[in-house]
Structure 1
Amino acid sequence: MVSFRLEHEARALVWEVPDGWVALGSASVGGGLTHPRWVSNLDVGDDFRRTDLAAYAAERSAGLGLAGPGTTLLTAADVRQVEHAEVEGVRCWATVGVTKPTWPVPPGGSQHGDAAPQGTRTMGEHPGPAHHGPPSPGTINLVVAAPVPLSVSALVQAVGTITEAKAQVLVQADVPGTGTASDAVVVLCPDPSRSDGAAEAFAGVRSVWGRRVAAAVHATVAAGLTAHPWRPGGSGRPGVVW
């Protein structure tokens, strides 16, 4: 099973991934369908401006003693505030920051909410010229580990389930958005090609494993949002939602 630790001084979360596991992730560094030996979630601070993300991730990974292929998530939220939940074998970890909630299609058809690759601007920072002052943390990063092999299709379904569960929490909490412009997710499970049993074919919201994934994500994001709720005008410009 995946092991987890918090590196306080390095401001990082690290997951050690067993040999023979597979991941599907949306991270800009080490994302896609991969066989990582580790996953990290790095606190970059609220003044992060670097765009050489692979080089930056390599520097931080070396400092953490991480070797081999891996996946790196970035956030301006304090990673020490990580939340965790487990539902019937599915484990979920989340760092939750919603200072800059975002709708997929911004109200009025504005395209100002379009997201660049994660980390190319500070975690949800508005790209338009109207934004002034220091940006605030605003990223929801999720790492989910399932104990059973999932087919590639089921991994994709799991990403959709995770996204829906996260969005449900935000809607239920009256947050004006379904996430932030820089959210990322990683799903981990044993590689079906190296398993003796058949892979699970489904992970949608009404499948057995999808239901468990959704419940774990919902509980984790809800805990993070309760601890650090969204407040209108938190960006310094009341009523403005990117």
Structure 2
Amino acid sequence: MTAVIPPSRTAPELLRVRRLARDEDGERLTSLLWRAGPGWRMISSSVLGGGIGERAWVLNAQVSHGYRRTDPERHLADLARAAGAHGPGVGLMTAADVRAYGRAHDGGVAAIATTGLGVRGWAASPEPGTPTPARPGTINIVVAVPAALTDAALVNAVATATEAKVQALIDAGYDCSGTPTDAVCVAAHSPRPDVECHAFAGPRSLWGARLARAVHHAVRAAAHPVT
């Protein structure tokens, strides 16, 4: 099921995702692929294509709950290549069923969220950290902003998206700030000399406010209320 908050009449529809199905390790698994195309710069905490740079696509791939591969970056690259995604991109992983994603729009900003909430808690925890990644469970958030953002604003946008995620989880009745493996990707137009490049993306800035509302609605739609 997909929960969709309709875009405004003037907003272009961003984040058109394509569902991809595959058989792997005896399971039927699904991925979501967004072909952004040229002219996008992304910031992400992803396994594949993390950091800041020009990116042409985003793949959010479902993997098995017992995922044991030690080369997730190569795995994601192979999945993207098999789907016909070429050039640099972003690859995310989750054990959640990505078909049950939440989607929302606000003022031209589009957000998609998938939520695997089986393992969750608060970020500030007395539990010791580990040197190796936790197994995929994961809330994955992908946001598209139809404006150019500076590097600092892209970092700011990640913080804003994270704040909105936590707000949505609390509103849905979850006593947590997320899962140990949450990931985020924010895409914005590549800067051009003739276009304004926005320096702020905090929750009260022009684009940050829209991003926060879109992420909040998308995560809230994907996170089934606690009963």
TM-score by length of 1: 0.80
More strand by share: 2
Give the whole-Å Cα distance in 1 for the aligned partners of 2:15 and 2:194: 19
The one-letter amino acid paired with 2:52 is L
Q: 1:86 deviation in Å?
A: 0.5
Q: For residue 236 of structure 1, what is the aligned residue in structure 2?
A: none
The question of whether the paired residues in 1 share the 8 Å contact of 2:48 and 2:77 is answered with no
Paired with 1:105 and 1:16, the residues of 2 have a C-alpha distance of 36
Aligned mate of 2:30, from 11, 14, 26: 11
Q: Which stretches in structure 1 are left out of the alignment for 5+ residues?
A: 124-137, 232-242
Offset, 1:3? 3.6
Residue 110, structure 1, aligned to residue 123, structure 2? no
| Aligned 1:162-201 pairs, distance under 5 A | 162-192=161-191, 194=192, 196-201=194-199
The answer as to 2:203 corresponding to 1:205 is yes
Q: Decide whether aligned partners of structure 1 residues 16 and 164 sit closer, same or farther in structure 2, where only a CA change above 3 A counts.
A: same
2:80 aligns to what SS in structure 1? helix
1:219 is displaced (CA, Å) by: 0.4
What count of residue pairs does the alignment treat as equivalent?
208
Is 1:70 equivalent to 2:83 in the alignment?
no
Choose from 87, 92, 99 the match for 1:80. Answer: 99
Q: CA RMSD in A?
A: 1.8
Q: CA deviation at 1:156?
A: 0.7
Aligned residues of 2:46 and 2:90 also touching (Cα < 8 A): yes
Match runs of 1:4-83 below 5 Å = 4-9=17-22, 11-83=30-102
Shift of 1:159: 0.4
Note the alpha carbon deviations across 1:165-223, whole angstroms, 9 max, x for none: 0011122333222010101000001111x352121111101111111000000101111
Distance across 2 between alignment mates of 1:164 and 1:183: 13
Give the structure 1 partner of residue 135 of structure 2: 122
Closer/same/farther in 2, CA of residues 2 and 95 from structure 1, 3 Å limit:
closer
Residue aligning to 2:140: 141
Kindly state the Cα deviation for residue 2 of structure 1 after the two structures are TM-superposed.
Answer: 4.8
Instruction: Indicate the structure (1 or 2) with the bigger Cα radius of gyration.
Output: 1
Structure 2 regions of 5+ residues with no counterpart?
1-13, 23-28
For 2:63, the aligned partner's letter is V
Instruction: Tell me the percent identity.
Output: 40
SS at match of 2:149: coil
- Runs of 4+ aligned residues of structure 1 deviating over 4 Å after TM superposition are none
Q: Conserved in 2, the CA contact under 8 Å of 1:8 and 1:80?
A: no
| Contact 2:134–2:180 (8 Å) recurs in 1 | no
> Equivalent residue of 1:48, what SS?
coil
Match of 1:222 among 220, 223, 227: 220
Q: Deviations over 1:136-171 (max 9, x none)?
A: xx3110000001111111111110000000011122
Does 2:108 align with 1:101?
no
